[in-house]
């Protein structure tokens, strides 16, 4: 599944529902569905709040599975460069309420990767479906 949305708060629920539809087809348990909901909400909220200086940009979402029974959700935006993996809770000067969401994402995901590709931020969040 690959779709593009406007980066605005009114789209968060719509985007999460699209992700959940994909995940539900994988016959995942409710716990994983809830984790994916929380993680997706955090990522989307951060993109909408911080990525774009103009009122609205775009968010592209891609969901896929691989042969290792791993679900990857890829969040792509064309906003300012931002690598959430560089920030750690221990960095007290950088840690704010907003950074708490990043720590939630790190806690729930099995793997997180960030790539700046051209003008795009690509945040890849992976969940091992076998362990959930």
Residue 92's pLDDT is 45
Residue 96's pLDDT is 53
Number of domain units in the chain: 1
For 29-66, letters b (16+ CB in 10 Å) and e give: eeebbebbebbbbbbbebbbeebbeeeebbbbbbbebe
Residue 103's pLDDT is 84
Kindly list the strands in the beta sheet with 111-117, ordered across the sheet, starting from the edge strand earlier in the chain: 2-6, 58-65, 70-77, 120-128, 111-117
Residues spanned by the domain of 55? 2-128
Question: Which regions of the chain are under pLDDT 70?
Answer: 88-99, 131-132
Residue 90's pLDDT is 59
Q: Sign of the CA dihedral 53, 35, 123, 23?
A: negative
Residue 117 sits at φ, ψ, to 5 deg, of -120, 105
CATH of the domain at 113: 3.30.565.10
């Amino acid at each position: 599944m690959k779709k593009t949305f406007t980066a605005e708060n009114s789209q968060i629920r719509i985007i999460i529902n699209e992700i959940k539809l994909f995940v539900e087809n994988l016959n995942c348990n409710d716990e994983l569905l809830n984790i994916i909901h929380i993680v997706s909400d955090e990522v989307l909220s951060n993109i909408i709040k911080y990525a774009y200086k103009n009122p609205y940009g775009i968010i592209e979402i891609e969901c896929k599975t691989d042969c290792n029974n791993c679900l990857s959700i890829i969040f792509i935006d064309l906003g300012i460069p931002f690598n959430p993996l560089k920030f750690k809770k221990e960095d007290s000067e950088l840690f704010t309420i907003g950074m708490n969401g990043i720590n939630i994402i790190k806690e729930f995901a099995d793997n997180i990767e960030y790539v700046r590709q051209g003008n795009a931020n690509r945040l890849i969040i992976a969940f091992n479906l076998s362990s959930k």
